A and B are shown apart, each in its own frame.
Chain A
Amino acid sequence: QVQLVQSGAEVKKPGASVKVSCKASGYIFTSHYVHWVRQAPGQGLEWMGIISPSDGFTTYAQKFQGRVTMTTDTSTSTVYMELSSLRSEDTAVYYCAKARGSWYEDYWGQGTLVTVSS
Chain B
Amino acid sequence: DIQMTQSPSTLSASVGDRVTITCRASQTINNWLAWYQQKPGKAPKLLIYRASSLESGVPSRFSGSGSGTEFTLTISSLQPDDFATYYCQHYNTKYPYSFGQGTKLEIK
| Residues of chain A at the chain B interface (Cβ within 8 Å) | 35, 37, 44-47, 49-50, 59, 61-62, 95, 97, 100, 103-106, 108-111
Task: Tell me if B87 counts as interface (CB < 8 A to partner A).
Answer: yes
- What residues on B are CB-neighbors of A105 within 8 Å? 34, 36, 44, 46, 89
Find out whether the CB atom of B49 lies under 8 angstroms from the CB atom of A59: no
**How many inter-chain residue pairs (CB < 8 Å) link A and B?**
57
**Nearest CB on B from A102, distance (A):** 9
| Residues of chain B at the chain A interface (Cβ within 8 Å) | 1, 32, 34, 36, 38, 43-46, 49, 55, 87, 89, 91, 95-102
Find out whether the CB atom of B43 lies under 8 angstroms from the CB atom of A62: no
Q: CA A45 – CA B43 in complex, angstroms? A: 10
Interface of chain B: mostly helix, strand, loop or mixed = loop
- What residues on A are CB-neighbors of B55 within 8 Å? 106
- What residues on B are CB-neighbors of A103 within 8 Å? 32, 49, 91
Q: CA A61 – CA B34 in complex, angstroms? A: 19
- What residues on A are CB-neighbors of B1 within 8 Å? 62
Q: Among the listed B32, B38, B96, which residue makes an inter-chain contact with A47, where contact means beta carbons less than 8 Å apart?
A: B96
Q: Among the listed A45, A59, A106, which residue makes an inter-chain contact with B46, where contact means beta carbons less than 8 Å apart?
A: A106
Q: Among the listed A44, A46, A95, which residue makes an inter-chain contact with B43, where contact means beta carbons less than 8 Å apart?
A: A95
Find out whether the CB atom of A46 lies under 8 angstroms from the CB atom of B99: yes
